[in-house]
Amino acid sequence: MNILKQPLIMTLTTILIAIAVPLHAERGTSVVNTPHNLSTSGGGGAHNIKSATEGRVCIYCHAPHHASAVTPLWSRELSDRSYNLYEPANMVATLQQPREPSRLCLSCHDGTIALGLLAGNYLLDPSLPSLGSLPFEPNPRLNANLGTDLSDDHPISFAYTQKSELQVPSLLEAQGVKLDKGSYVECTTCHNPHNNVNGNFLVKNVDSQHDALCTTCHIRTGWEAGGDADTAHKAGGSRTTEAVVDQVRADGCINCHLPHSAPSHTALNRGATEEDTCTQSCHNGAPYTDIRSEFASTYRHPVQSYDKIHSFKESLPLADTKKHVECVDCHNPHRAGWQDAPLDSLKVPPVLPQPLISGPLRGVRVDNAGRTADYEYEVCFNCHSGNYADSFAVNSSLRPVRQFATFKEDERFNSANPSYHPVTEDRPISATAGRSLKADYQTTMKRIYCMDCHAPHGSSVAHILKAENEDLYPSTALDYPLCYSCHDIDYLLGPTSQSPGINLHRVHVQGSLGTGPGGSKVACATCHDPHGVPLSRGADTSNGAHLINFDTRYAGATPVYNAVTRSCTVACHAGGVGERTY
């Protein structure tokens, strides 16, 4: 009797589905209205897959009889493959091979088993291929074939627990997100295989806000701080057209990340590398600042040289074995904005009060306890302090060899030093302090930024300086525009600016009285250390004042400067005349 009834039942089912469901349906509350309907009445999806012979809808996943041992009455074999997992550089949960709930999905979506092959090696429909045999789908959001490499997909089969920047688990289900038994994140946490009303079988509507599902679980600090404090990557920024702003605002997380088949396995970034994610669509001059060309400069932070290294678990300042620089080492994309940018104290008159840090640097971690930067220089010190700074000398052949030598900038800018540029501390304001500064700065410029002198992305000038400032001897420079952007050239080089009458600044810099072999000119950096003279390296108040920290390549192995007698003993002066007083 069962044999006689089956054709009638299947005929009625096929007729009802054909009446109720339009072919190639993409969305619907029932599975029969979705691409998961592989029967003769189905179809849809990127490749419009459907059977030419089998009219039953549910049989491709479920069987009332002779099902496999897997619940719920699973009709397919599960793949026995071992999967390459996501690399959790910034993840605290422990990953494992996919658990059974996700393996149900992967029995089709890892592309290793034909869609028409059921449990017991029963070939239901030989015309239905495996997803892995389909033509390559270049759009990651339409790619149904995840393969066995899941390192470019959102992690699954891990226990979701309350952690920093994650929603409380008990609040998720009310928002449509269901965790599996034991509070595990599985494919079904984000996807409902029987309901495609939201597209891509998502459990939440993302039509107007494309990252609405992402932000259900992920609550990034500063992402939705409110008003002007919102990150520019969420709010869309303000430096381009309204259409671009609207698109950025609508995409949210999707601007930079993809949940499946992400080109970069690091943080599921949209770009092949982390920096590509920043520059290929946005920071390339269209529509935002052309950062890509800045990183093509002769002197630059070499972000192109490293990938997959940045981690919030790294020890700071950066350890010797972890040398690298990435965009996210200096910027927190989830908190960055454009307030007070660019940082630049070289304004006439300076804008007061000067901000301590700018929006683009907001939220960058600067210590192992998770504290974020309050000052711009702290971001730089993540790499340019500690043992890494001395052991990894970038362009070391170009660097001056200082009398009191270190590349640990926290030591060079230490406020206990005999002298230092005011980066980490305000400089004293008095009638005599800062006489070499331009008049507008003498009483207003209390502090300067690293970015006053350096172009952090890239520059055509050595040491990624913002302007020419030759540091070779003998010097061929006619001008030192970087120093002169703050310091008064007339005060430094004018014939009556110092006493006694001969201005030794002018003599050295302009070479007008034959200083050095053949009247060679001396660069500012031959005598002065633009960062500071470190007390920790042997300087004291008698030989470290006025930023004098000789470049020993030119001044000799043991130069002497005495601030009390205002005299120098250096190798520059040939013919046995080594000491000069000024």
**Across residues 364-380, what is the average pLDDT?**
95
The answer for 382, left when phi > 0, alpha when psi is -120 to 50, beta otherwise, is alpha
Q: Token pair of 201, please?
A: 């079988």
Residue 419: what are its φ and ψ, rounded to 5°? Answer: -155, 150
Domain ranges of the chain: 227-300, 466-581
- Inter-CA distances, 560 with 307, 453, 497, 527, 582, Å: 45, 28, 24, 11, 14
- Given a contact cutoff of 8 angstroms between Cβ atoms, the answer to whether 574 and 517 are in contact is yes
- Given a contact cutoff of 8 angstroms between Cβ atoms, the answer to whether 187 and 102 are in contact is yes
pLDDT of 383 above 70: yes
pLDDT top residue among 10 and 145: 145
Residue 371's pLDDT band (boundaries 50, 70, 90)? very high
pLDDT top residue among 212 and 231: 212
Share the mean pLDDT of the chain: 85
pTM: 0.87
Taking the C-alpha atoms of residue 223 and residue 233, their distance in angstroms, rounded to an integer, is: 8
pLDDT in tens, 78-132: 888 999 999 876 777 888 999 999 999 999 999 999 999 999 899 999 999 999 9
How high is the pLDDT of residue 227?
64
Q: Token pair of 121, please?
A: 């090696």
How high is the pLDDT of residue 396?
66
Other CB atoms within 10 A of residue 222 CB: 18
pLDDT of 392 above 80: no
pLDDT in tens, 9-35: 333 333 333 333 333 446 778 899 899
How high is the pLDDT of residue 2?
33
pLDDT top residue among 66 and 502: 66
- For the ranges 193-197, 297-301, 319-323, 358-362, the lowest mean pLDDT is seen at 319-323
The alpha carbon of residue 436 and the mean position of all alpha carbons in its chain are separated, in whole angstroms, by 39
How high is the pLDDT of residue 515?
47
| β-pair type (567-569, 560-562) | antiparallel
Taking the C-alpha atoms of residue 472 and residue 455, their distance in angstroms, rounded to an integer, is: 20
pLDDT in tens, 198-228: 999 999 999 999 999 999 999 998 888 666 6
- Given a contact cutoff of 8 angstroms between Cβ atoms, the answer to whether 32 and 41 are in contact is yes
Taking the C-alpha atoms of residue 295 and residue 342, their distance in angstroms, rounded to an integer, is: 17
pLDDT of 448 above 60: yes
pLDDT in tens, 242-275: 898 999 999 999 999 999 999 988 889 999 888 9
Taking the C-alpha atoms of residue 451 and residue 346, their distance in angstroms, rounded to an integer, is: 10
**Residues recorded for the chain:** 582
Grouping H, G, I as helix, E, B as strand and the rest as coil, residue 149 is: strand
Taking the C-alpha atoms of residue 551 and residue 174, their distance in angstroms, rounded to an integer, is: 67
How high is the pLDDT of residue 564?
81
- For the ranges 388-402, 503-517, 555-569, the lowest mean pLDDT is seen at 503-517
Taking the C-alpha atoms of residue 560 and residue 404, their distance in angstroms, rounded to an integer, is: 11
Q: Of all residues in the chain, what percent carry a pLDDT higher than 70?
A: 89
pLDDT in tens, 150-202: 999 999 999 998 788 899 999 999 999 999 998 999 999 999 999 999 999 99
Host H or E run for residue 249: helix 242-251
Q: CA-CA-CA-CA torsion for 399, 315, 156, 173, nearest 10 degrees?
A: -120
**Across residues 552-563, what is the average pLDDT?**
89
**Across residues 131-146, what is the average pLDDT?**
90
Which is nearest to 150 in space by CA: 115, 176, 119, 185? Answer: 185
How high is the pLDDT of residue 188?
96
Taking the C-alpha atoms of residue 289 and residue 275, their distance in angstroms, rounded to an integer, is: 14
Grouping H, G, I as helix, E, B as strand and the rest as coil, residue 576 is: coil
Residue 519's pLDDT band (boundaries 50, 70, 90)? low
pLDDT in tens, 520-555: 789 999 999 999 999 999 999 888 999 999 999 999
- Inter-CA distances, 453 with 17, 82, 330, 420, Å: 71, 53, 17, 14
Residue 382's pLDDT band (boundaries 50, 70, 90)? very high
